[in-house]
Amino acid sequence: MFYYLSEFRQIFFIFNVFRYITFRAAMATVTTFLFCMIFGPIVINKFKSWKIHEHLKREDCPELDHYRSIKKGTPTMGGIFMIGGIIFSIFLWCDLSNRFVQLTLLSCTWLALLGLFDDYVKLTRSHKGKRGMRARNKFIWQCILGGIVGFVIYSDPQISTRLDIPFLKNCVIHLGFLYIPFAIIVIVGTSNAVNLTDGLDGLAIGCVLIATLGLAVLSYISGHLKFSEYLLIPYIPQAGELAIICAAILGASMGFLWFNCYPASIFMGDVGSLSLGGTLGVIAVLIKKEILLVLLGGVFVIEALSVILQVTSFKLRRKRLLKVSPLHHHLQLSGWNESKIIIRFWIIAIILVFLTLTTLKIR
């Protein structure tokens, strides 16, 4: 909304500031942070009074109940005010005619609604042995969104279906129609990876915050002609607006972490984790940094791989590789303090962001 005030810059010169991505990104960060700080306590108090909290018992690993019992009664679905702040900030500071903004907004809302329904099923039917939606149904809806994003990219001549290989200057793979299933894998993968990481107070949202900071830099550079030419990366017109969305996610992450840090006053729920993960995946696809996302979101990749390897090993060998998956719970059962696990994962996430940004010059 404020972006369109720049149309009146000849009448009031001060409106010229709304043209700049850097200014609007900074304001988007502040907006979402304040949104969370204002509405966070309201949501927490309401959800406590309504007894909106997860049943934390793990039938597949009773040993975890010892660690989770102290969190009994903590409200969940805090992603509602976080995602609400992001959407509000997008409408306030982004150019809504930008196709990248439209696609990312659609994805964020789509996955938030999917996560909201998943949380609803958990809260209302957990006594019947259900832990959310059926995995197959959730997967189908995620794939539909990934297919829409992939098809839009494939059918838009201004958006490339090329796949750039990091570290190599002229190594490009043109996927063509195959980009659609590739986009599905990236978006569904990141959405579920963040969801799997959301198991300790502040772990997932802290890593999202750190990864989003790196993605904001990549988005701004990709949409800037001189910077992209200098760094020999694909220039993507209008992609700079995605840096504002990243900034909104950044502010929302800081605002939510205020309440979610150990010991958490509220949990994110699938409404937050599915949406945030998928949105990061969509942004990475749009700015052609799909492979770099594996390094940038390395913590999420490791967490997801720990689950995949655990399930595969048990099905093939009837043996578990870890005491329990995901990895953070294995470390917890190995005697690591919860705060130590969280902070060390954050440190790894920060290192991975720096490594990701260094690849821009290693070509």
Q: Provide the residue type at 305 as one letter.
A: L
pLDDT at 154: 93
Query: Which tokens in the block code for residue 47?
Result: 């959800």
Give the pLDDT of residue 124. 83
d(CA 55, CA 178): 41
Is residue 223 included in any domain, yes or no?
Answer: yes
In a domain, 197, yes or no: yes
Task: Report residue 349: phi and psi, to 5°.
Answer: -60, -40
Residues contacting residue 342 through CB under 8 Å, at least 6 positions apart = 200, 201, 202, 203, 206, 262
- Give residue-wise pLDDT tens across range 282-320: 999 999 999 999 999 999 999 999 999 999 998 999 888
Question: Residues 234, 222: contact at Cβ < 8 Å?
Answer: yes
Residues 294 and 19: their CA atoms lie apart, in Å, by 32
Separation of alpha carbons 22 and 346, rounded Å:
26
**Region of residue 132 (left: phi > 0; alpha: psi -120 to 50; beta: else):** left
- Domain annotation covers residue 105: yes
Tell whether 311 is covered by a domain: yes
Residue 363 lies in a domain: no
Domain that holds residue 72: 2-358
Q: Are 201 and 207 a contacting pair, CB within 8 Å?
A: no
Domains held by the chain: number: 1
**What is the pLDDT averaged over residues 193-222?**
96
Mean pLDDT confidence for 31-53: 95
Whether 15 maps to a domain, the answer reads yes
- Look at residue 289 and tell me if it is in a domain: yes
Q: How confident is the model at residue 130 (pLDDT cuts 50, 70, 90)?
A: low
Structure tokens at 192: 């579920």
Write down the pLDDT at residue 359.
87
Residue 64 lies in a domain: yes
Give 162's strand partners: 174
pLDDT digits (tens, 9 = 90+) for 133-167: 888 999 999 999 999 999 999 998 777 888 888 77
Q: Which of 50-64, 73-87, 142-156, 162-176 has the lowest mean pLDDT?
A: 50-64
What DSSP letter does each residue of 168-225 carry, written as one string? Answer: -SS-EEE-GGGHHHHHHHHHHHHHHHHHHHTTSTTHHHHHHHHHHHHHHHHHHHHT-H
Of 108, 94, 151, nearest to 280 by C-alpha is: 108
